[in-house]
Amino acid sequence: MATEHPTLISSLRALPRTAWVLFFGTFLNKFGSFVIPFLTLYLTRGGYPLSAAGMALGAYGAGNLVASILGGYLADRVGRRQTIVLSMFSGAVAMMLLSQARTLPSIFGLAALAGLTGEMYRPASSALLADLVPAGQRVTAYSALRTSFNAGWAFGPAIAGFLAERGYFWLFAGDALTSVLYGLVALFALPRGSGTGTAHASWGELAAALRRDRVLPRILASAFTIAIVFFQASSTLGLHMTRIGFSTATYGALLSLNGAIVVLFELPLTTVTRRFAAPRVIAFGFLLAGFGFALLGLARSIPALVACMAVFTLGEMLSMPTASAYVADLAPPSMRGRYMGAYGLTWTVALVVGPALGMSLLAAGPSVLWLACAALGGLAAAFALSAPEHGRR
C-alpha cells in the first residue's frame, strides 16, 4: 500500500501560529535591510575612498561572525524570544548611530556593531522554529522561513532606492524602524523562554557533545564548501559578466531571477524532497549548485545564463531547507541555538573566505574558477553523503 504524503497546503496549515509570526518578522526585517546593499554608495558618495567602503563591509561581516556564536549562546541561555528582541532593538540603535558616524574608526566600529546586533537573531529564530515544529515538518518550515527571507530581499531594494533619492539618512531610519517593528512583534507575539523544556547545557557539556557528534562536522564541512561557491554569485560572477560584455543591469536581473525562483518554487518543491533521505537530497542539491554555477561561467547568451541560473537555484532549493532541518534534528534541545549558530557560522566564515579565494582563482583564469566551483560542488556532495540518514522529513 502506497504511503500517502501530505500536500503543501496541509503542511502549511499544520504549522503553529508562532511559526507564522517568525515568517512575518523575518520578511519585515529583511524587507527593511536598506543600508548594507547601499553602504558602498553611501560612503563613496560621501567622499570616502573605495578601500574604506570595502573595509566597512568587512567590519560588518566580522560582526556577523560574532553574531552566529553569541546569538546561538544567548538563544540557549536566555531564550529565543529574548534574543530576537535584543537583536532587533539593539540593531536599530546601531543603525542610527552608524548614520551619524563621520570618522573612519567610528564607521568601522559601528558597522561591526550593526553586523553583530542585526544578525544575532538568526540562530534564535532557527532554534525556535525547531522547538515549535516536529521533525517531520521541518523541511517545509525552514523552506517557508527562507521564502520569507528571500521575499524581503526581493522587494526591499526598490524601496531603498526610493528612500536613497531623498537622502541616505532615510535608509538608516527605515532600516531601524523595521527592526523596531520586528522587535515589538517578537516581544508581544512570540512565546517566553526557550521552548525546550530542558535545562541549558554548559559550555563544557556543549564541547563534550560536539566531540561525540560525528555527524555535525560532516554537514558543516559540506555547507562551508558549497558556501564558497554560493558567495561567488555576489563577487566574481558580476565582474566576469561585465568583462565579457554583459551589462550590470543583466547581472542584477540574473540575481533577482534567483530570488524570484526561490520565492515561487521552493515551498512546493518540499513536498517532494521531504520524502527522501536528507543527506541524499543535500548532496544532490549541492552537486547541482556547483555544476550550475560552473556553467554560468561558460554561458555567452542571456537564455544560457537563465538556464544555468535555474540549475543553480534548483540545487539551492533542494539543499538549503533540508540542511537546516537536518541540523535542527541533530541538535539536543538544550543546545539547539548553538548548533544552529554553528551552522550559520560556517556560512559567515565562507563569506569572509569565499570572495577573496574566488578573485584569486579568477585572476588565474576564468576556467580555473569555474572548474573549481564544479569540484567544490562535488566535494560538498561527498561530505553530505558521508552523513547517515537521520530520519525522513
Residue 310 CB neighbour total at 10 angstroms? 15
First to last CA, the chain: 20
Query: What pLDDT shows up at residue 1?
Result: 43
C-beta separation of 224 from 278 below 8 A = no
| Assigned C-alpha cell, 273 | 524532497
This prediction has a pTM of 0.85
CATH H-level superfamily of 17-196: MFS general substrate transporter like domains (1.20.1250.20)
Per DSSP, 277 falls in state B
Dihedral of CA 328/329/331/332: which sign? positive
Residues 23, 273: Cα–Cα separation, whole Å: 21
Query: What pLDDT shows up at residue 200?
Result: 60
Domain boundaries, the chain: 17-196, 208-393
Residues 375, 393: Cα–Cα separation, whole Å: 28
Query: What pLDDT shows up at residue 4?
Result: 64
Q: Give 277's strand partners.
A: 392
Residues 162, 156: Cα–Cα separation, whole Å: 10
Residues 341, 201: Cα–Cα separation, whole Å: 15
Query: What pLDDT shows up at residue 385?
Result: 96
Measure Cα distances from 46 to 50, 97, 99 in Å: 11, 16, 12
Equal fold, 17-196 vs 208-393: yes
From 250, 222, 319, 332, select the one nearest 280 (Cα to Cα): 319
- Residues lower than pLDDT 70 in the chain: 1-4, 193-207, 210, 390-393
Main-chain dihedrals φ then ψ at residue 133, nearest 5 degrees = -115, 130
Angle 34-39-43 from CA coordinates, rounded to 5°: 140
- Based on DSSP, count helices (H) and strands (E) in the chain, helices before strands: 17, 0
C-beta separation of 119 from 63 below 8 A = yes
Residue 90 CB neighbour total at 10 angstroms? 18
Q: What is the DSSP string of 90-130?
A: HHHHHHHHHHH--SHHHHHHHHHHHHHHHHTHHHHHHHHHH
Fold topology of 208-393: Growth Hormone; Chain: A; (1.20.1250)
